[in-house]
Amino acid sequence: MNLKTCVLAGPASKDLAKSVAKILGAKLIDVELRIFPDGESKVRIDGELDGKIAVIVQSTYPPVDTHLMQSLFMIGKAMKMGASVCAVIPYLAYARQDKEFLNGEAVSMELVGNLFNSSGAKNLISVDVHSQMALSYLKIPAYNVSAVPLLASYFKSQKLVQPLAVSPDIGGAARAQELAKNIGTSSIALPKFRDRNTGEVTIDQNAPELKITKGRDVILIDDIISTGGSVVKATEVLVKAECRRVFVACAHALLINGALEKIMAAGASEVVGTNTVPSKVSKVDVAPAICDQISKLNE
Ligand code: R5P
């Protein structure tokens, strides 16, 4: 039993926190939540924290702002109770707002970073953060752990035919390369274009990269699936290019507005996500990756 560390199960990540506590051999402490009629959250930590390392696990999937505020309230209270806090924010919301794409846009991640910087947390661990730029706004030690090796293990246990890792966009090329390396295959990245005003996504169905997908099982990998717009477009062009099957994988399956149904309707065989966002596609547990990082910090 790890007596120095305890794991706080944030309201958004109870199952993941349980898994983290089990691997660490640490006590799991529940966090009670009340939502006031006006929408305010009130958290109550149900245990002793004095002198402990408190690992607070709370993802910030929708309702984004509510989960974000709850994470800050828990960190603040745990500090007051005498703990040294390691904030585990598996899905870090606002990371996509990491720069000013159009004039006058708020760089929201900068403020979110500042909130964690001043929260009192000693360090922060996240999973597949959207960009290094987003992470750069954190001035406390911040660590990004990859869910890709765990996703790769899932796919290695399936019987795939000539698997190929595909990123729906150039920005995700390194992620597809990492998946390919873990599976023992190659990867490509598709030329995606997103209209910054309408949000509409297009992918050139005549892109030369698509040629090598014919007859192969494709794993289309992204960090986030929100509306599904990116992977739906990518699945459509891959199906047109006559690949064998399309498996869609991501760390954070937000699946907004019927995204899962849209992806399946586009011709995907399966969608695989992790438990950074609990959903019916949470097939991969990211706790081992998070615990590896926690152990390194505590060495
Ligand atoms: C974009 O750069 C991200 O990596 C994802 O591709 C994007 O956020 C997914 O959003 P949606 O599912 O709405 O296309």
Q: What is the DSSP letter of 101?
A: S
Would the CB of 222 count as within 6 Å of ligand 1?
Answer: yes
Q: Which residues are catalytic?
A: 192
pLDDT tier for residue 100 given thresholds of 50, 70 and 90? very high
What pLDDT is recorded for position 225?
Answer: 97
- Ligand 1 atom closest to the CA of 226, numbered from 1: 12
- pLDDT digits over 206-221, tens only? 999 999 999 999 999 9
In this model, does residue 145 exceed pLDDT 80? yes
Q: Could you tell me if residue 215 is left (phi over 0), alpha (psi between -120 and 50 degrees) or otherwise beta?
A: left
What pLDDT is recorded for position 92?
Answer: 98
Q: CB–CB of 286/275 below 8 Å? A: yes
Mutate to test the pocket of ligand 1, among 169, 200, 224 (most ligand atoms within 8 A of CB): 224
Rounded mean pLDDT of 147-166? 97
What pLDDT is recorded for position 2?
Answer: 82
Query: 63: cis peptide before it, omega within 30°?
Result: yes
Q: How far is CA 217 from the centre of its chain?
A: 24
Q: CB–CB of 9/31 below 8 Å? A: yes
Instruction: Give ∠ CA 245-155-12 in degrees, rounded to 5.
Output: 110
**Pick from 98, 97, 46, 35: nearest CA to 70:** 35
Beta strands in 10-152, from DSSP E residues, in sequence order: 26-35, 41-45, 53-57, 84-89, 123-127, 142-145
Rounded mean pLDDT of 177-189? 97
pLDDT tier for residue 199 given thresholds of 50, 70 and 90? confident
In this model, does residue 283 exceed pLDDT 90? yes
CA dist list (Å): 226 to 46, 259, 262: 33, 7, 12
- Ligand 1 atom closest to the CA of 259, numbered from 1: 12
Helices 64-80 and 108-117, interaxial angle, to 10°? 20
Q: What residue type is 124 in one-letter code?
A: L
CA dist list (Å): 170 to 149, 188, 194: 20, 9, 12
What pLDDT is recorded for position 299?
Answer: 79
What pLDDT is recorded for position 195?
Answer: 87
Rounded mean pLDDT of 133-162? 97
Query: Is 0.85 surpassed by the pTM of this model?
Result: yes
Instruction: Measure 252 CA to ligand 1 centroid, in angstroms.
Output: 10
What pLDDT is recorded for position 197?
Answer: 86
Would the CB of 273 count as within 6 Å of ligand 1?
Answer: no
Would the CB of 66 count as within 6 Å of ligand 1?
Answer: no
Mutate to test the pocket of ligand 1, among 91, 194, 196, 223 (most ligand atoms within 8 A of CB): 223
Q: Which two tokens stand for residue 97?
A: 């707002």
DSSP string covering 170-232, please?
A: GGGHHHHHHHHHHHTS-EEE--EEE-TTT--EEE-TT-GGGGGGTTSEEEEEEEEESSSHHHH
Instruction: Measure 163 CA to ligand 1 centroid, in angstroms.
Output: 23
Mean pLDDT of the chain: 96
- State how far the Cα of 83 lies from the Cα of 37, in Å rounded to an integer: 31
- pLDDT digits over 45-99, tens only? 999 999 999 999 999 999 999 999 999 999 999 999 999 999 999 999 999 999 9
- State how far the Cα of 8 lies from the Cα of 30, in Å rounded to an integer: 6
- Ligand 1 atom closest to the CA of 201, numbered from 1: 14
- State how far the Cα of 292 lies from the Cα of 135, in Å rounded to an integer: 19
- Ligand 1 atom closest to the CA of 171, numbered from 1: 2
In this model, does residue 266 exceed pLDDT 90? yes
In this model, does residue 194 exceed pLDDT 90? no
In this model, does residue 1 exceed pLDDT 80? no
Instruction: Measure 121 CA to ligand 1 centroid, in angstroms.
Output: 29
Q: Could you tell me if residue 162 is left (phi over 0), alpha (psi between -120 and 50 degrees) or otherwise beta?
A: left
- State how far the Cα of 245 lies from the Cα of 268, in Å rounded to an integer: 7
Instruction: Measure 230 CA to ligand 1 centroid, in angstroms.
Output: 6
Instruction: Measure 254 CA to ligand 1 centroid, in angstroms.
Output: 10
